[in-house]
Amino acid sequence: MTRAREHFDGADFPIDSFDVDFREQLAALVRRRRDVRRFRPDPVPEAILEEALRLAHLAPSVGFSQPWRFLLVEDEAKRAAAMASFRRANAAALEQTAPEDRALYARLKLEGLREAPVQMAVFCDEETHTGRGLGARTMPETRAYSTVCAIHTLWLALRAHGVGLGWVSILEPEEIARICAVPEGWRFVAWLCIGWPQEARAETPELERLGWERRLPLEKLCRRI
């Protein structure tokens, strides 16, 4: 594919767009996002966290339902219970991993639960009346998709400040809902570890650098029909 810059570089397109420098910065932000699993203990300024959450809250959502619910988990007992849930879920995942992959799997660091100064459990309110069900009747899962859109916005907004985010999904969803004491209709979506990364972020995902998986060619995933 040709680079967008060569084709869309200015005044020929009198539409509401951003300039070339911004687009290059946006591309760099997306390329250098990374899932972070090793954190420094230094606190993340509240102002950064609040700004990122306010941007996440601008994410698209089905029927404008805004179903995301962010819980900042500060209680040490709750954090320890999440860590215990990870240990159980990860031990089960290791057992279910193909025998030839087990040694590599066991070496992967798949969470930053011990060290991340900010931890956030994100839920989707499946019973929200906001948006009055518009768009979600045939595909109720679109509420969870909306929540994921908000998480991705949060990820990029934090990354823009240099703050790292690591998504932990190797957890027991029902146990996490219990730990967080959420209402019945809330579905667990993500546990997010947030903080300053220990190391500079590479352009390549850690799972690729460690030989677990490679990025597929886009051409294999995108075609005209």
Ligand X SMILES: Cc1cc2nc3c(=O)[nH]c(=O)nc-3n(C[C@H](O)[C@H](O)[C@H](O)COP(=O)(O)O)c2cc1C
Judged by beta carbon, residue 111 or residue 126, the one nearer ligand X is 111
- C-alpha closest to that of 25 among 159, 197, 199: 159
CA distance 43 to 118: 8
Q: Residue count at the site for ligand X (CB under 6 A)? A: 11
User: Of the two residues 59 and 131, which places its CB atom closer to ligand X in the complex?
Assistant: 59
Residue 97 tokens read as 């991993």
The yes or no reply on residue 205 touching ligand X (CB under 6 A) is yes
Stretch binding ligand X (CB under 6 A), from 48-56, 57-65, 125-133, 165-173:
165-173
| Beta bridge partner(s), residue 71 | 121
Q: Which residues contact 15 (CB under 8 A, 6 or more apart)?
A: none
Instruction: State which of residues 34, 69, 143, 187 lies at the interface with ligand X (CB under 6 A).
Output: 34
Contact predicate 67/126, CB 8 Å: yes
Q: From residue 96 to residue 135, what is the string marking binding to ligand X with x (rule CB under 6 A)?
A: --------------xx------------------------
Give the number of other Cβ atoms within 10 Å of residue 54's Cβ. Answer: 11
Which residues of the chain form contacts with ligand X (CB under 6 A)? 34-35, 37, 110-111, 167-170, 205, 207
